[in-house]
Amino acid sequence: MVWILGPRQIGETTLPREIARTWQRRPDLFPKLRVLTDRDRRPARFLLLGSASPSLLNQSSESLAGRIAYVAVRAPAGRRRRDPHPGGIGPLAGPSASQAIDATLSAVKVSFFETGRYCPPTPLPSEWPVPSGAYDPDAGARAFRDMIERLRYVEALGFDWISVSEHHYSPRILTPSPMVSAAFIAAHVPHIAIALLGPIVPHSNPIRVAEELAMLDTMSEGRLVVGLLRGTTNESLTYDLNPDEARERTDEGMELVLKAWTEPQPFGWQGRHFQYRTVSIWPRPLQAPHPPTFALGTSKESCEFAARHHLGCGVSYGSFEAVARATRYYREQCARYGWEPSPEQIVYRANMIVAETDAEAEARLRALPNQAPFSMRPGVRDAMATLDSRNIAGQARAPVISGALPTTFLGSPDTVVEQVRRCREVVGAGVLDLSLHPPGSGDLDALKRALELFGTKVLPHIRDI
């Protein structure tokens, strides 16, 4: 007996010729199947198809142990395909069938936040922007070679997504163009979903953003997840974005990206900050109507935008309680617009330090510098602090300019599993986007050890949370 599992409408039911009734409609199916299977011991007499929720599987008193094999078919980005066909079915996921099932049915998905990990051969200047002259091209080339090796390992460990972000002028995060990063990763890491979290909308040409994301979704065969955002405070200084306009340009730009993806007729855009007489992008995204998309940010405006456009919501780095204010507000807004987001539509980016013991993890946190690795000049920092208004669900929040970002998951694997459980309850996030080691650290061995520990001792235990 073989059960092919997959999220809805990814094509798993178009594959076979014989179709059994799905588990959802007949929860009493398993006991009957056991009897039928035991009568005739020939292999693979029954082919079960369709998606199932973890709660249903857990409800079953009949596990069919020894009688059933599971094969998971992933639509890696977790959304419907525009045009299901056998060739478009996602690859069989993960290193083993059981892990594959976990990946499909998990309530908490896990994303690995990849930053490029540049290891400078000599100490660097400490001010942002860091002079380009201090960059070592060979070290840069090595960083991207190592990145691919690392991400293949991440995929093999059973992570659900790899995420990349847009940051400029810093050795800390070597991915100024997340589009290029994502394309490179998609070409070298074959199965995992790639989350582009995300292009900084206010300083980009939104049409170009829509076009490049559509290309990526198509080239990666629907593995793309998208987060659109305003960007961190310092990013206003790259590409000369006026901080006063950042919010407005983000909202308008995001709406224009969505419109460019979904409007079938050439259109003009008479905006406040963007103006086009004719737009008609090719290609459009592979996933329909577009890749799973998040508005990233804790602000009232961002949450409202996400709710209004039926997008996911992404929060980052704050304490569970702080970001929960935003996710609660987001869910309230969704209700106002008459819909309810799934846990998978809330993603939380956070720092995690996991070690063999709590004490070791705490020691490692203490060893980290307590300030941003590349700080701005005081004159710029202070001016930015007054100009850059941010909020959590409407409550003013100071921009993070010179402080270190907090680490909200810290401890032994058991402790971290408990923290993930708490986070799931408090924040409601179905996806954790994790830095398992300080993003700027060049200690790749430590990162690899953290990955291994997380993959073997944490990941298997947070699937059923």
- Applying CB under 8 A, the residues found at the interface with another protein are 133, 236-237, 240-245, 249, 270-275, 377-380, 382-384, 387
CB of 387 to another protein, least distance (A): 6
Looking at the Cβ atoms of 271 and 406, the one nearer to another protein is 271
CB of 226 to another protein, least distance (A): 24
- One-letter amino acid identity for 456? T
Report the alpha-carbon distance of residue 377 to residue 81 in Å, rounded.
Answer: 48
CB of 139 to another protein, least distance (A): 21
Q: What is the DSSP string of 373-432?
A: SSBPPHHHHHHHHHH--EEETTEEE---SSBPPPEEEEESHHHHHHHHHHHHHHT--SEE
Q: SS3 for 57? A: helix
Looking at the Cβ atoms of 122 and 275, the one nearer to another protein is 275
Question: Is residue 185 within 8 Å of 151, Cβ to Cβ?
Answer: yes
CB of 240 to another protein, least distance (A): 4
Question: Is residue 229 within 8 Å of 250, Cβ to Cβ?
Answer: yes
CB of 134 to another protein, least distance (A): 11
CA-closest candidate to residue 152, choices 448, 404, 454: 448
Looking at the Cβ atoms of 237 and 405, the one nearer to another protein is 237
* Residue 175, number of CB atoms within 10 A of its CB: 22
Looking at the Cβ atoms of 260 and 417, the one nearer to another protein is 260
CB of 128 to another protein, least distance (A): 11
Distance between terminal CA atoms of the chain? 28
- Within its chain, how far is the Cα of 459 from the centroid? 16
Looking at the Cβ atoms of 286 and 384, the one nearer to another protein is 384
CB of 401 to another protein, least distance (A): 12
The CA dihedral of 271, 276, 280, 281, to the nearest 10 degrees, is: -90
Beta strands in 328-382 (DSSP E): 346-354
Number of helices (H), then strands (E), belonging to the chain: the values are 14, 16
Distances (CA, A) of 259 to 90, 210, 268, 350: 27, 9, 11, 31
- Residue whose structure tokens are 């380009």: 132
Looking at the Cβ atoms of 63 and 242, the one nearer to another protein is 242
Looking at the Cβ atoms of 201 and 307, the one nearer to another protein is 201
Joined tokens for residue 181: 């990063």
Question: Is residue 178 within 8 Å of 166, Cβ to Cβ?
Answer: yes
Q: Is the peptide bond before 198 cis (omega within 30 degrees of 0)?
A: yes
CB of 388 to another protein, least distance (A): 9
CB of 136 to another protein, least distance (A): 18
Report the alpha-carbon distance of residue 27 to residue 417 in Å, rounded.
Answer: 31
Looking at the Cβ atoms of 245 and 263, the one nearer to another protein is 245
CB of 374 to another protein, least distance (A): 15
CB of 307 to another protein, least distance (A): 26
Question: Is residue 93 within 8 Å of 100, Cβ to Cβ?
Answer: yes
Looking at the Cβ atoms of 62 and 127, the one nearer to another protein is 127
Looking at the Cβ atoms of 55 and 386, the one nearer to another protein is 386
Looking at the Cβ atoms of 153 and 169, the one nearer to another protein is 169
- Within its chain, how far is the Cα of 330 from the centroid? 18
CA-closest candidate to residue 192, choices 55, 294, 99: 99
